[in-house]
């Protein structure tokens, strides 16, 4: 009997469920702030719904278009990513928000190039590794060219500065390289170098060092570097098992900064409790498992590595965000995929999931 698993259905369900949770929590966490600043409690929700419409269109396109069509496009995508990363650093084009230049605004519409860079580099790496599969174990012809491109974009991200995204993309690409057959010794050496570079970058800027010390002991500076983390702890503590019910968070009342973006998971914990947190974590775990299943079962090298890259990026970004809000990692400014407010992140995230679903639809039939 011919049959095959259908991970694409589960992946799509997880995506829809996470987006649904996100819309509820974006409204709940931002309504009072939006009313005060913009005069409408629906300001952020309406913008996210608009972005959801764009993301849904790209999701549909990505599901329908064979993923192999993207493989020859990687030079154009990487070039476009390079131009965007340079443009965001140019005064008058790039927009500074919170001492970081990460946005390009055109006609009042904000665009975050780093989200496009994630997509471009994952597609490039999958194409590179599928073409170099017989040479990836050779440092000079396999790993070294990949490290050059990765290092170049890492440097551009640090200039913004966006250390969190630089680390996220680097770890994702290293995972793809490892799956493609990189020697463990080369992997260990590369990660050691990345770790050493990370430590140097932390000590090179006082604000990064303060973030680390604030993470290690937030109560040593409760009104500055430790403030956000302490308020997040309070939100989790108040949530308990069942939460305070939707809309009843007190931490969103201007106590917890970035309540509808980077720290939306804390508001979720306060309003829905441990059960709500468990629900979201379970969705992420199932998505991760099914995504890696697609990568494991795909018999096309490009599709296999691409599936691993997309899954790793989304799951790792989720882990980093959750780790920050519960105090396991220093604050990095990384949103929770499909839940946090953010148009560029949602749109490109949905497009990548669409590609993953398309790969899943091509999985071979079991005999």
For the chain, the three-class secondary structure string (H helix, E strand, C coil) is CCECCCHHHHHHHHHHHHHHHHHHHHHHHHHHHHHHHHCCCCHHHHHHHHHHHHHHHHHHHHHHCCHHHHHHHHHHHHHHHHHHHHHCCCECCEEEECCEEEEEEECCEEECHHHHHHHHHHHHHHHHHHHCCCCCCCHHHHHHHHHHHHHHHHHHHHHCCCHHHHHHHHHHHHHHHHHCCCCHHHHHHHHHHHHHHHHHHHHHCHHHHHHHHHHHCHHHCCCCCCHHHHHHHHHHHHHCCCCCCCCCCCCCCCCCCCCCCCCHHHHHHHHHHHHHHHHHHHHHHHHHHHHHHHHHHCCCHHHHHHHHHHHHHHHHHHHHHHHHHCCCCCCCCCCCCCCCCCHHHHHHHHHHHHHHHHHHHCCCCEC
Give pLDDT, residue 22: 98
Angle at 291 between CA 278 and CA 8, to 5 degrees: 95
d(CA 264, CA 322): 10
Please report, in tens digits, the pLDDT of each residue of the chain (367 residues total). Answer: 455 668 999 999 999 999 999 999 999 999 999 999 999 999 999 999 999 999 999 999 999 999 999 999 999 999 999 999 999 988 878 887 766 778 888 766 778 999 999 999 999 999 999 988 777 777 777 788 888 999 999 999 998 888 899 999 999 999 999 898 877 777 788 778 878 887 887 777 777 777 777 778 888 888 788 899 999 999 999 999 999 999 999 999 989 988 999 999 999 999 999 999 999 999 999 999 999 999 999 999 999 999 999 999 999 999 999 999 999 988 778 999 999 999 999 999 999 999 999 999 998 866 5
366 within domain boundaries = no
d(CA 331, CA 213): 11
Q: Dig out the tokens for 249 from the structure.
A: 């968070």
Cβ-contact 283, 275 below 8 angstroms: no
Cβ-contact 175, 127 below 8 angstroms: no
41 within domain boundaries = yes
Count CA atoms within 13 Å of residue 54 on its CB side: 13
1 within domain boundaries = no
Give pLDDT, residue 1: 41
**Angle subtended by helix axes 343-361 and 301-325, to nearest 10:** 140
CA torsion through residues 228, 115, 309, 23, sign: positive
69 within domain boundaries = yes
165 within domain boundaries = yes
Give the count of domains, the chain. 1
66 within domain boundaries = yes
Angle at 110 between CA 104 and CA 114, to 5 degrees: 60
Q: What residues make up the domain containing 184? A: 7-361
367 within domain boundaries = no
The pTM (predicted TM-score) of the whole model is: 0.94
Q: Dig out the tokens for 53 from the structure.
A: 């419409």
93 within domain boundaries = yes
């Amino acid at each position: 009997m011919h049959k095959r698993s259908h991970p694409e259905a589960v992946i799509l369900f997880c995506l829809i469920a996470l987006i649904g949770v996100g819309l509820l929590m974006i409204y709940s966490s931002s309504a009072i702030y939006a009313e005060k600043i913009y005069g409408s409690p629906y300001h952020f929700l309406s913008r996210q719904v608009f972005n959801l419409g764009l993301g849904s269109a790209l999701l549909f396109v990505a599901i329908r278009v064979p993923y192999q069509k993207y493989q020859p496009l990687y030079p154009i995508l990487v070039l476009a990513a390079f131009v965007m990363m340079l443009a965001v650093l140019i005064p008058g084009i790039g927009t500074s928000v919170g001492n970081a230049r990460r946005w390009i605004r055109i006609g009042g519409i904000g665009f975050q190039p780093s989200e496009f860079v994630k997509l471009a580099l994952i597609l490039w790496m999958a194409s590179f590794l599928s073409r170099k599969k017989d040479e990836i174990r050779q440092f000079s012809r396999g790993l070294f060219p990949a490290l050059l491109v990765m290092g170049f974009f890492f440097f551009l991200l640090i200039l913004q500065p966006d250390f969190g995204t630089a680390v996220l993309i680097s770890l994702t690409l290293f995972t793809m390289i490892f799956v493609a057959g990189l020697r463990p010794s080369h992997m260990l050496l590369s990660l050691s170098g990345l770790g050493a570079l990370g430590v140097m970058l932390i000590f090179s800027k006082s604000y990064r060092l303060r973030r680390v010390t604030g993470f290690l002991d937030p109560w040593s500076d409760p009104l500055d570097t430790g403030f956000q983390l302490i308020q997040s702890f309070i939100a989790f503590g108040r949530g308990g098992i069942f939460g305070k019910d939707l809309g009843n968070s007190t931490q969103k009342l201007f106590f917890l900064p970035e309540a509808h973006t980077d720290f939306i998971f804390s508001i979720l914990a306060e309003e829905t409790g441990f059960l709500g947190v468990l629900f979201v974590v379970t969705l992420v775990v199932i998505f991760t498992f099914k995504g890696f299943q697609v990568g494991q079962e795909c018999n096309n090298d490009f599709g296999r590595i691409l599936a691993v890259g997309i899954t790793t990026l989304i799951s790792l970004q989720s882990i980093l965000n959750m780790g920050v809000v519960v105090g396991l990692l220093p604050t990095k400014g990384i949103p929770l995929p499909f839940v946090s407010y953010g148009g560029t992140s949602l749109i490109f995230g949905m497009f990548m999931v669409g590609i993953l679903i398309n790969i899943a639809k091509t999985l071979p039939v079991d005999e």
